[in-house]
Amino acid sequence: MGAINFWLHDTWQPGPLGLTSPYFSRVNRLHIAPKWVAYWINPTGTTWNYWAIKYTGSLYVPWSSIRVGVWVDDGAYVKLCNIDTGNSWWRGGPPIFLMTSGTCTGAPGEYSVEVGYLNYWGAVALIFVIGPATGNDAYVPTIDGAWYCPNFRWTGAQQGTCNVAWSFRPASAGVPHFRGTNYTPSSTDDGGGSPRP
Count of residues for the chain?
A: 197
Residue 15 confidence (pLDDT): 46
For the chain, give every domain's residue range: 5-41+48-179
Residue 43 confidence (pLDDT): 61
Residue 49 confidence (pLDDT): 75
Residue 24 CA to residue 141 CA, distance in Å, equals 14
Q: Which residues contact 54 (CB under 8 A, 6 or more apart)?
A: 114, 115, 116, 117
Residue 181 confidence (pLDDT): 82
Q: Which residues contact 14 (CB under 8 A, 6 or more apart)?
A: 7, 23, 25, 71, 95, 125
User: pLDDT tens-digit profile of 149-176?
Assistant: 999 999 988 888 888 888 889 999 999 9
User: pLDDT tens-digit profile of 27-57?
Assistant: 444 445 555 555 556 666 666 677 888 889 9
HSE-up of 68 (CA within 13 Å, CB side)?
28
Under-70 pLDDT residues of the chain: 1-2, 7-48, 92-93, 196-197
Residue 26 confidence (pLDDT): 45
Residue 28 confidence (pLDDT): 44
Residue 18 confidence (pLDDT): 47
Task: Give the rounded distance of the alpha carbon of 15 from its chain centre.
Answer: 17
Residue 40 confidence (pLDDT): 58
